[in-house]
Chain A
């Protein structure tokens, strides 16, 4: 049997007959089917039945027409309506727009993360300070408690307590905040101002804030801690300004029996970061000496209760200091220093 005969003998499948009647087949396929049906009564019957089914379907669906006669409104009216109906973008534009949104979001998050990582050390470390030079600060005066001035930091303590400016400080503390609610306000520290002078030349050496001078590489490392944890670790050495939200606490553990050095960063109503630094005198001086941003000022240094450490059967007294730094005027910082409390 030849191939031609086989093709002639193959009956036309029903779906092909539907496609044939719907004129969905190619010309060659149609010719093949017609050639076959010319000799095949069975396929002709099937074609007739399929055509009847198709016509009936069309008739049934025709009954589901909203109106007997559907008339299109004038095309001009459609054009007029076009201006009234907001046209939504097609899916490609939507996808493109969504992609752009997603990319923008990712970029913003990334930029925020990078920015935060760049800003964080400045935010939580002591703000760079401009330190005065001896020439600018005038003659040195003895400190009230007899402490020698730290020559390395060029502090020139004033002979008398710092007079607070008559004008109102820039900072106006709110009545309460989250921190103040959470923490029982401790008694205010009696501030003995030991010196403050105007801004002078900047110390140019930028140095890392975190430096361990201990033999153990980790025991004296600066750590960023939560407020509650800091309270537990630092105990009574936690300086903060009531009424300002705390945005971070940096803490460096001290030697055995010594309180740690603490930097509490808070934010005032204008968004400025205020840092309260409390720790051993040499440590605070060292931190201040490493600041090099000219627009950051510091308040007067004030004494806090010293540490007493037993060393070789005797007792060593370590003086501790407190200061407030920030991009505020010295008068404002001094005003803030007066309201710093130490828990």
Chain B
């Protein structure tokens, strides 16, 4: 239980971010993250970190499905970024942040599902073997997938940067 508590304190933000990047709803991401840890308390998994992200991925998938059923736009939608503006930001700053947000979300959406999963799991703090176990890839293939995903993300983001600059000029 102590291990789980420690894991909760260290990994809770990562799990929230991981979930948020899949469902694009901050409050729901926090709810689901707490549910993940509550389930972990009940099940006491042997490898809690990998288990937590696996359950989080499943919950996010279920959430996306139910969102589709409810016809709510909680899933990753290219045309509907959900920036979280800070109240003290100026209008110009808010617009700029929205643009940045849109570019990153669109770049992430441009990845294949597998590349995106591997990238988000790595960003969540999972090791290569844990990513391999969750995605079904060979451990040796995780580095290759990750290299490709990073490159494509940056390329997509730069392309959008270029298109935005061209539109401005």
Contact = CB atoms under 8 A, between A and B. Distances in A.
Contacts, number: 101
Contacts of B84: 66-67
B37 to A, nearest CB: 6
Nearest to A19: B143
Given A75-B9, A78-B8, A85-B35, A60 B128 contact: no
Nearest to B19: A66
B117 to A, nearest CB: 13
A135 interface: no
Contacts of B8: 72, 75, 78
Contacts of B38: 78, 81-82, 85, 87
B61 to A, nearest CB: 14
Interface in A10-31: 14-19, 22, 24
Contact of A78 (B37, B86, B104, B123): B37
Interface in A81-114: 81-82, 85, 87-88, 90
A9 B14 CA distance: 40
Contacts of B12: 70, 72
A283 interface: no
Contact of A87 (B9, B26, B39, B151): B39
Contacts of B144: 15
A151 interface: no
A58 B150 CA distance: 9
A53 interface: yes
A325 B154 CA distance: 88
* Max chain B C-beta neighbours (<10 A), residue from A54, A58, A72: A72
A57 interface: yes
A5 interface: no
Nearest to A80: B38
B13 A72 contact: yes
Contacts of B146: 15, 18-19, 22
A256 interface: no
B37 A65 contact: no
A61 interface: yes
Contact of A66 (B29, B43, B128): B29
A168 interface: no
Contacts of B30: 66, 70
A17 B143 CA distance: 8
A242 B35 CA distance: 63
B147 A15 contact: yes
A79 interface: yes
A85 B34 CA distance: 10
Nearest to A23: B127
Contact of B17 (A19, A65, A75, A90): A65
B42 interface: yes
Interface string B33-63: 0110111011100000000000000000000
B143 A18 contact: yes
Interface of A: 14-19, 22, 24, 50, 53-54, 56-58, 60-61, 63-68, 70-73, 75, 78-79, 81-82, 85, 87-88, 90
13 contacts: A24-B143, A50-B147, A57-B119, A60-B104, A61-B119, A63-B100, A64-B20, A66-B26, A70-B16, A70-B17, A72-B8, A82-B38, A87-B39
Interface of B: 5, 8-9, 12-13, 16-17, 20-21, 26, 29-30, 34-35, 37-39, 41-43, 84, 86, 100-101, 104-105, 107-108, 119-120, 122-123, 127-128, 142-144, 146-147, 150-151, 153-154, 157
Given A57-B154, A70-B16, A72-B9, 8 more contacts: A15-B143, A18-B143, A24-B128, A24-B142, A61-B123, A66-B17, A78-B41, A87-B43
